[in-house]
Structure 1
Amino acid sequence: MANVMKPSTSPLTTAEIAALALSLAHLGSGPQATTARSGLRHAFEHMELDDEIISTTLATLTEPMPAPVADRARTIANAITSRLVVQLHYQDVSGRVTVRDVDPVTCMVHRDYWYLVGMCRLRGAIRAFRFDRIVATEPTFIPARPHRADNFLPFQGKRATLQGRVAAA
């Protein structure tokens, strides 16, 4: 197959990166998924990003998720696409599990972890939920309130910082 190169008119937005990476992360490790991840790595090579972002997040963005996490990620991705609230059973850093209804906004990677960014109805604020701390997900039929993803992603410029932009769940 021939390589076709067209000049880029605009870089990917942070919301587009998050959506592509999440879609790839739960695909598994088949040949199509491997090729798609290679394409994402290639796209990153042509973006003006801080070296720290590349070194700490690229592997996480392009590696398949463990099967149980991938199952939860599919439920989350479906909720984002369908604009429906998702119910999370979430274990905080001290081990307490809470059940939360979340208006999902987007997913992102910060360093070694995937996060769901959404409006937590329990806390009444935007929160970032680390995927590896999400014990279970349940779809709902409750319409989610609309929120622009670009308003909640921490890597708006060249630096990726979670501090100050997204409160930890």
Structure 2
Amino acid sequence: MANVTRHSLTAEELAALALSLAHLGAGPQSVTARRGLRHAFAHLDLNDDVIATTLQTLTTPLPTDVARRARAVANAITARLVVRIQYHDADGRLTVRDVEPVTCLVHGEFWYLVGWCRMRRGIRAFRFDRIVAVEPTDLPSRPHLPQRYLPFQRRARPGAASGPGSGGDFTPAVA
């Protein structure tokens, strides 16, 4: 067997892998892909509750309706198009928002769409379980660099290395 050198994945790489896995459903390829992702996380401290829960969420197939919404968002990210979402906020109010999608990610037990909300004029993370509908539009989205907008990246302590497994705390990024 060949020697394999392990490298830590960046937050952007993890987000892209997570979004790709969302499309696979529960078929045979998804089982292999999710097992590979577990191996990619082998270096992480799974005693950290956030990391352990996130890994469990990443490696569990999405419900069909959520996977369908994730596919629509992924297509919009690739095509750099705005999506119109119907979204229940934390208080249960339904809003319709035009969002320039940047990426999708998992944090803890939830999947998120991260994007520039035109209604709020700022970057927002939308929980997929609160998104009722995703409608593609023909409106062009401005290019956004995902690494600037990932809200749940590990933040290094002063003098410490940054990145997953570095011991920093997960905190929302402020755009």
TM range (shorter): 0.7 to 0.9
What is the aligned counterpart of 2:93 among 84, 91, 96? 96
Distance (whole Å) between structure 1 residues aligned to residue 105 and residue 42 of structure 2: 18
Cα offset, 1:108, TM superposition: 1.2
Distance (whole Å) between structure 1 residues aligned to residue 2 and residue 139 of structure 2: 44
In the alignment, structure 2 segments of 5+ residues that lack a partner are: 155-162
Match in the other structure for 2:60: 63
What is the aligned counterpart of 2:3 among 2, 5, 12? 5
Q: What does 1:88-167 align with in structure 2 at a 5 Å threshold?
A: 88-153=85-150, 154-156=152-154, 157=163, 158=166, 159=168, 161-163=170-172, 165-166=173-174
1:75 corresponds to 2:72: yes
Match in the other structure for 2:23: 26
In the alignment, structure 1 segments of 5+ residues that lack a partner are: none
Relative to the length of structure 2, the TM-score reads 0.85
Distance (whole Å) between structure 2 residues aligned to residue 50 and residue 155 of structure 1: 18
Distance (whole Å) between structure 1 residues aligned to residue 29 and residue 79 of structure 2: 25
Q: Is the 8 A contact 1:11 1:47 kept in 2?
A: no
Structure 1's 105 and 49: CA in aligned 2 closer, same or farther, altered over 3 A? farther
AA at the equivalent of 2:108: R
How many residues in Structure 1 have an aligned counterpart in Structure 2?
Answer: 163
Structure 1's 132 and 30: CA in aligned 2 closer, same or farther, altered over 3 A? same
Relative to the length of structure 1, the TM-score reads 0.88
Cα offset, 1:49, TM superposition: 8.0
Q: Is the 8 A contact 2:51 2:108 kept in 1?
A: no
Runs of 4+ displaced beyond 6 Å? none
Cα offset, 1:47, TM superposition: 4.9
